[in-house]
A = this chain, B = another copy of it.
Amino acid sequence: MNERVRIALDVMGGDFAPHEVIKGAVFAKKENSAIDIVLVGDKSSIEKHLSSFGEKDSFSVEHSSEVITMDDSPVSSVKRKKDSSIVKGVSLVRERKVEAFVSAGNTGAVVSASILYLGLLEGVQRPGIAIIIPTLTGSSLLIDVGANINPRPIHLLQYAIMAETYFRLILEKSNVKVGLLNIGEEETKGTDFMKECYKLLEASTLNFRGNIEPKDIFSGKCDVIICDGIVGNVALKVSEGLVETAGLFFNNILNSSMLAKAGALLLKPYLKKFSRMMDYAEYGGAPLLGVDGIVVIAHGRSDARAIKNALKFAGEEVKRNLNQLILESVNA
């Protein structure tokens, strides 16, 4: 496909902004020249960085004078900081000046700005953040990982429907198996909230496989795993923390022993494969499903590769017309 896609990128968001973010845009453009990227953020800083990459003319720039920081309160900051890169980027989507927005900034603010300025797809009651997680057999989708911390059961049913659509369309798999994340496999397990979710999912036309336990989320048993935003966030972040801790542990060892170093050298391709498997940067972005526009949330610690991949994913969602299909699924 050679259709052009136009994507706004929040240059001020993320731990390594703006340098790594702009570098990611340069990578994405090199990989696929059919992506037109609008860099949103402080103009002079953007121009300085582009010059240093020798890429002055490949990008449009949309100046924004404010920044929503990681500490800003999501809801109030998107109302107050109208000239922030997040509000500006979302507004570009609303005005149809771009077809998607990618940000590694304050997740809550991106969600709030998207709800406030884009609105929800007809029939959708709450948006959810879906994240692609690695499994032994491929990938699964975990939703919601933090957009909505006080959901009602109907929201989780809608997450399932949206995620099933995403999985079919973007990850190209049919007969998508849906599971409800719960503390036990039996239907009677969990809180009243979880039991109600179970009933709704069971009564739906989805290929619902019942509860899936937390220890099985990396097993590939289910393609789509549904949960509330607190549970999803904890599952995701605990995994990240554990991988990071293991990395620190082994780094300490490699600095302490020559034999270990030799062993690690032999294992290197496999260690690399594993860390790539576990690496959020491989996927780069998490789609915010349910808002009336394509919004992709990148990890706060995104490096250039992660940003490049997030842009790529956003482009896929645009080209395949994800939201039209979600609209149809949710209202079927």
Contacts and interface: CB of A to CB of B under 8 A. Distances in A.
Interface of A: 71, 73, 135-136, 146, 149-150, 181, 183, 186, 188, 190-191, 213-219, 229-231, 233-246, 248-250, 253, 257, 259-260, 262-268, 270, 274, 277
A274 B246 contact: yes
Given A250-B274, A274-B249, A274-B250, A241 B264 contact: no
Contact of A217 (B235, B238, B250): B238
B191 A230 contact: yes
A191 B150 contact: yes
B183 A249 contact: no
The number of times this chain is found in the oligomer is 2
Contact of A242 (B73, B186, B218, B266): B218
Contact of A277 (B150, B214, B229, B249): B249
Nearest to A265: B263
B263 A241 contact: no
A218 B241 contact: yes
Contacts of A181: 234
A183 B250 CA distance: 27
A146 B183 contact: yes
Given A250-B274, A266-B260, A266-B262, A183 B230 contact: yes
A241 B266 contact: no
Contacts of A146: 183
11 contacts: A146-B183, A183-B229, A214-B234, A215-B241, A238-B238, A253-B270, A257-B270, A260-B266, A263-B263, A263-B268, A264-B267
Contact of A241 (B219, B230, B236, B262): B219
Contacts of A274: 246, 249-250
A41 B244 CA distance: 43
A108 B229 CA distance: 25
Contact of A264 (B213, B231, B263): B263
Counting chain B CB atoms within 10 Å of each CB, the highest count among A135, A229, A263, A274 belongs to A263
B267 A263 contact: yes
A146 B135 CA distance: 25
Contacts of A270: 250, 253, 257, 260
A259 B266 contact: yes
A191 B149 contact: yes
Contacts of A183: 146, 149, 229-230, 233-234, 237
A250 to B, nearest CB: 7
B263 A237 contact: no
Given A263-B264, A263-B267, 20 more contacts: A146-B183, A149-B191, A183-B234, A183-B237, A190-B230, A213-B241, A214-B238, A214-B241, A215-B237, A217-B238, A217-B241, A218-B245, A238-B239, A242-B243, A246-B246, A249-B274, A249-B277, A250-B270, A257-B270, A266-B266
